[in-house]
Homo-oligomer: A and B are copies of this chain.
Amino acid sequence: MTEKDDFDLQNFLPYLLNQAAEESSLAFQQVYKDRYGMLRTEWRVLFHLGIYGRMTAKEIGTRSKMHKTKISRAVARLGERRFLTRQQDIKDRRLEYLELTHLGRTAYHDLLTVAQTYDNRLSASLSPDENKVLRQVLRKLAKMG
């Protein structure tokens, strides 16, 4: 992409990434939305706790790069619906440890199965090399500024 006139929106990386991201998450979104009435921020918090275990909102923020207000709201909603419990740290009362309840773990495992199936389906449409390169490059891009 050096000539001005050659420019194609379909080759502009941020645009292309966005299209692929949107398209590829649509079907999964349908599941967590229809089955549990969750938003994207909410399944993300659920998965962070499901995968990495008990942690604070701050830690979720560091790992996911989501803004703290998003996390705060997602946690509040997941708490109301009994998907997680919140427990204040006694030493530092600003901190709250979040942990999935039985209900939360059940939802997590259910969605995990869906996610895995879904990811496998996406992977299957790509060659082994495409898969490897894609994930590797995406991780690189996700880290840049």
Contact A21–B14 (Cβ < 8 Å):
yes
Contact B122–A20 (Cβ < 8 Å):
no
Which B residues lie within 8 Å of A134 (CB)?
Answer: 13, 133-134, 137
Which B residues lie within 8 Å of A11 (CB)?
Answer: 119, 135
Contact of A7 among B10, B18, B116 (CB under 8 A): B116
The number of times this chain is found in the oligomer is 2
Q: A5-17 toward B: CB 8 Å interface, digit per residue (1/0)?
A: 0011111111111
Contact B51–A9 (Cβ < 8 Å):
yes
Asked if A120 is at the interface (CB within 8 A of a chain B CB), the reply is yes
Size of A's binding interface in residues, CB under 8 A? 57
Interface residues of A in 105-119 (CB under 8 A from B): 109, 112-113, 115-116, 118-119
**Separation in Å of the A95 CB from the closest CB of chain B?**
22
Interchain CA distance A141-B23 in the complex, whole Å = 7
The winner among A23, A47, A118, A136 for most chain B CB atoms within 10 A is A23
Asked if A101 is at the interface (CB within 8 A of a chain B CB), the reply is no
Asked if A87 is at the interface (CB within 8 A of a chain B CB), the reply is no
Contact B47–A9 (Cβ < 8 Å):
yes
Beyond the given A4-B112, A20-B138, A134-B137, could you list 17 further A-B residue pairs with CB under 8 A, ordered by the A residue number?
A1-B116, A9-B44, A9-B47, A11-B119, A11-B135, A14-B24, A14-B28, A16-B142, A17-B17, A17-B24, A17-B25, A18-B25, A23-B143, A24-B144, A26-B145, A126-B140, A134-B134
